Every structure is written in C-alpha cells, then in structure tokens.
Amino acid sequence: MKEDLLITMRAARVNAGYSQSEASQKLGINKDTLWRYEKNNSTIPRNIIDGIEKLYKVPSNNIFFGSESEFIRNLRKDVQ
C-alpha cells in the first residue's frame, strides 16, 4: 500500500486548514459522522469521498481511509 503522498483523512483535513466542524458543514454531514469516518468506524459513501477530494484538494488515491493506528503500523512495516 506504499504510495509517495499517502496521508490520513484527518491529516488531509488539517492540511487543508479545516476544523472538523468546518469540514463537516461544507461536506453536508454531521461532525460526529466525519469523526467516525476519520476513525474508520463507518463506511464512507462514494459521494462523500468525492466531496473530501474536492474540499481538501487531495486525490482520493492519496488519502488513507482507515484508522491512523493502522496507517502508522503500515508505515513502520514499510521502513523495516
């Protein structure tokens, strides 16, 4: 799963300069829903992925839509 610019969904939001409240409002979803998406506790519909891609200005191929801990484990695995 190694890609050059792979970042977590939360990192993409923070890098774009949005709080969870701001991003969820612009995406038309509840803040708690966005939190669940960022924690990988809920399946993300395709239309929301498309919205995230446009709002954060990051291709969805470069966003890791899993948990941050899984992302870190994969990074560590790739480094070893």
Q: How many CA atoms lie within 13 A of 75 on its CB side?
A: 13
Q: State pTM to two decimals.
A: 0.80
Q: What is the DSSP letter of 45?
A: P
Please report, for the chain, the start and end positions of each structural domain, with discontinuous segments joined by +: 7-79
Confidence band (pLDDT; 50, 70, 90) for 37?
very high
Which pLDDT value is given to residue 1? 40
Does residue 3 surpass a pLDDT of 70? Answer: no
The span from the CA of 80 to the CA of 77, in Å, is 5
In the structure encoding, which two tokens stand for residue 48, read together? 């929301």
In the structure encoding, which two tokens stand for residue 80, read together? 């070893």
Enumerate the β-bridge partners of residue 8: 64
Domain 7-79 in this protein, CATH class:
mainly alpha
